[in-house]
Structure 1
Amino acid sequence: MQDLTNRFPFDIRDVEGTDNKELSKYFLGAGKFNIQVGPKKYLLMSDYKHDAENIYNMPLRHDDIFLLTFPRSGTTWTQELVWLLVSDLDHSTAAKVPLSFPMLMHNNIVEHLNKEHANNPDNLKTLQLMRTPGSEQVAKMPSPRFIRTHLPLSLLPPTLLDSTKVVYVARDPRDVAVSFYHLSREFKSYNFNGGFKTYWSLFVRDLVYWSPFFEHLKEAWRMRHHPNMLFLFYEELLQDLPATVQRVANFLGKQYRADQISELCTYLKFENFKKNPSVRFGNLKEYGMMAPKGEFIRKGKSGGWRNYFDEDMTREAQCWIDNNLQDTDMKFPTMI
């Protein structure tokens, strides 16, 4: 068990036993590089334990804006939306400035990439920068800071909501699982080698990274009435983008004309957004972190899970969702 000071209140333990064997089998190279954090057992890569205390105690600024999501819930799309609203709709800069985030990678994958790029100092420098702990990257960012993370509220600074604005985006877990499955197959840091049915089995047992899914969502849902929290569903962005954009603008205290909101929505239409070079993360392929044909931004649709679930999986999924939502009034727009 990892023993941190009292400044980080949760225990960190290695994943062991059958769970570790399954992770090692399906996530190639995972080995002993998986940890579970706190009483909810959030599954993370071991890199996190070296930065856990720093993240939990990071100094906050009054104009920080945090974007929290479980992976594959519309993070990049919403980040672009928030950035543009706060930055006076500066579309030209948004198209040029790449969105970036710290990388969590298993140590053996890091060693492999370093060897692969040993003769390219520039690539090695970029790889090292990507590996810089998140707390260090955030500390160097100019204000206002736009901070995206997949960490749940409980692992972030306790004063977060009283100090900054937080946007949380949730998505139907069946669509999340499909999208995360594809990323996990294409992304070297996951390198998943099984089929979707296997992945779904791991997903509902909280054995994919950043799980447990529902604990992650419910932490934010319980705080949805806090004046500094905006809880969105990905499906709301798809169903009525103009109305949702206006909600976000109101939350951020920004006022725009109807024609400006309309122009922003055209810019954010998924087919346009996906072509934006700033969000395509082509460097992931260049540095060998993603399969050559892989796509970080996929289809941006709702309900695509039906193409992957057979009848038994559909029933199992509904039962799993119902069981996890029985103690809350949260409902996904796809289920209303």
Structure 2
Amino acid sequence: MAHEKIQKEIEASLDWLYDRDGESIAFLKYNGVPFPSMLSLPEALSQLHSLRAHKDDIFICAYPCSGTHWMWEVTSMLLKQKAERITQVKEDYMLEVVSPNKYAEKAPPRIFNTHVQPQFLPETVLSQNKIIFLVRNPKDVAVSRYKNQFGMLHPKYNGTFPSYFELFMDKVNTYGDYFEYMNKWWQIIKDKPNNLVVCYEEASQNLLKTVNKIGDFLGRHPSPELAAAITELCTFESMKKTKVDTIYNLKHNELWKPNYSFYRKGKVGTWREWLTVSQSERIDDRVKAELADCDFPMIYSI
């Protein structure tokens, strides 16, 4: 009965994002923020502030398509001090997917991941736990999010990139507007020793440096040999070949259209193949106007 009630509440609260051509994306609005239409999401979010985090738990936080899967794999290997593929499913530790009471059986330190805005997390987590916050050039984020939305079977979206770009710029995205999201997180993490900001572009250019940086932040300083081995396993090419895309134990072809997956290209600067000069300049204008006070180590020039 409880499940049926939740299902009815989800269906009643389901809304749609429409692009300029009439193509739609289903979403759920929770506390004023649009989220993907995941069945478990309302329950998980409603209980998130009751999450009992251990002091050694680690949180990877990022706007969607900023490298969460990638850094979760790196961090897991560093924590275990072993360069071997992680068998756990990242979504089993995704805060907006799994109800907090189900984490009690998982021994700390646990590596959680989330795309939620900071106001959804417990204050103790924001002030005390180690947080790895990922940043990525918004131009590549826009392209990657489009490919992600277009490639997924549920919710289904068949719009063109120019139409999706307008949604991205009009602040009607699941998890909220990119620029607002980054501003909110900056207010939380700036000058806080429990936070480490990792730049997607820097990791792409020098993953070994990023592996060592995260290891030092976690107090798990890897040997040169271990750092090199983790780097080799966590290159995008290696992960795409050996990592299985799994959510809720569903098969890959039940989640994605042919030739699509979580792991797209992983390259930086592909926005140049997608954005017009005008679109690129519009993002530049919003960066200057809305992120001027955010001192993120982000590389916009690639």
Matched, 1:179 2:144: yes
In structure 2, distance between residues paired with 1:175 and 1:244? 20
Q: Which structure: larger Rg?
A: 1
Contact 1:235–1:302 at 8 Å: present in 2 too? yes
Residue type of the alignment partner of 1:177: A
In structure 2, distance between residues paired with 1:188 and 1:139? 32
Q: Secondary structure at the match of 1:188?
A: coil
Superposed CA deviations along residues 206-247 of structure 1, whole A, max 9, x for unmatched, are 212112112222233231321211111111111222222111
When residues 134 and 187 of structure 1 are mapped into structure 2, their CA distance, relative to the original with a 3 A threshold, is farther
Contact 1:161–1:226 at 8 Å: present in 2 too? no
- TM-score, reference length from structure 1: 0.76
1:34 corresponding residue in structure 2: 28
Q: Secondary structure at the match of 2:175?
A: coil
State which drifts further: 41-50 or 269-278: 41-50
Matched, 1:316 2:245: no
Contact 2:60–2:132 at 8 Å: present in 1 too? yes
Q: Secondary structure at the match of 1:44?
A: strand
Contact 1:224–1:231 at 8 Å: present in 2 too? no
- TM-score, reference length from structure 2: 0.84
In structure 2, distance between residues paired with 1:161 and 1:69? 14
When residues 132 and 203 of structure 1 are mapped into structure 2, their CA distance, relative to the original with a 3 A threshold, is closer
In structure 1, distance between residues paired with 2:18 and 2:229? 50
**Per-residue deviation at 1:259?**
2.2
When residues 275 and 180 of structure 1 are mapped into structure 2, their CA distance, relative to the original with a 3 A threshold, is same
When residues 277 and 244 of structure 1 are mapped into structure 2, their CA distance, relative to the original with a 3 A threshold, is closer
Superposed CA deviations along residues 92-125 of structure 1, whole A, max 9, x for unmatched, are xx25x14231699xxxxxxxxxxxxxxxxxxxxx
1:66 corresponding residue in structure 2: 59
Contact 2:17–2:24 at 8 Å: present in 1 too? no
1:101 corresponding residue in structure 2: 91
Contact 1:284–1:290 at 8 Å: present in 2 too? no
Superposed CA deviations along residues 162-195 of structure 1, whole A, max 9, x for unmatched, are 3321111010111011111111012123311210
State which drifts further: 304-313 or 287-296: 287-296
Superposed CA deviations along residues 132-180 of structure 1, whole A, max 9, x for unmatched, are 7442443332222111111122211111133321111010111011111
Contact 1:43–1:212 at 8 Å: present in 2 too? no
In structure 2, distance between residues paired with 1:161 and 1:36? 20
Percent sequence identity is 26
In structure 1, distance between residues paired with 2:196 and 2:91? 22
Residue type of the alignment partner of 2:24: F
Matched, 1:275 2:268: no
Residue type of the alignment partner of 2:47: N
Contact 2:76–2:111 at 8 Å: present in 1 too? yes
Matched, 1:253 2:253: no
Residue type of the alignment partner of 2:109: P
Contact 1:23–1:207 at 8 Å: present in 2 too? no
- Correspondent of 1:209 among 149, 174, 180: 174
In structure 2, distance between residues paired with 1:294 and 1:134? 28
Contact 2:83–2:233 at 8 Å: present in 1 too? no
Q: Secondary structure at the match of 1:169?
A: strand
**Per-residue deviation at 1:35?**
1.0
When residues 221 and 263 of structure 1 are mapped into structure 2, their CA distance, relative to the original with a 3 A threshold, is same
In structure 2, distance between residues paired with 1:284 and 1:322? 42
Contact 1:66–1:146 at 8 Å: present in 2 too? yes
Contact 1:15–1:36 at 8 Å: present in 2 too? no
In structure 2, distance between residues paired with 1:224 and 1:335? 23
Provide the aligned C-alpha RMSD in A: 2.9
2:34 corresponding residue in structure 1: 43
- Correspondent of 1:240 among 193, 202, 206: 206
Unaligned runs of 5+ in 2: 1-12
2:160 corresponding residue in structure 1: 195
2:273 corresponding residue in structure 1: 307
In structure 1, distance between residues paired with 2:124 and 2:63? 21
Residue type of the alignment partner of 2:212: Q
**Per-residue deviation at 1:335?**
3.4
1:7 corresponding residue in structure 2: none
When residues 316 and 160 of structure 1 are mapped into structure 2, their CA distance, relative to the original with a 3 A threshold, is same
When residues 21 and 75 of structure 1 are mapped into structure 2, their CA distance, relative to the original with a 3 A threshold, is closer
**Per-residue deviation at 1:70?**
0.8
Residue type of the alignment partner of 2:282: E
Q: Secondary structure at the match of 1:101?
A: helix
**Per-residue deviation at 1:74?**
0.6
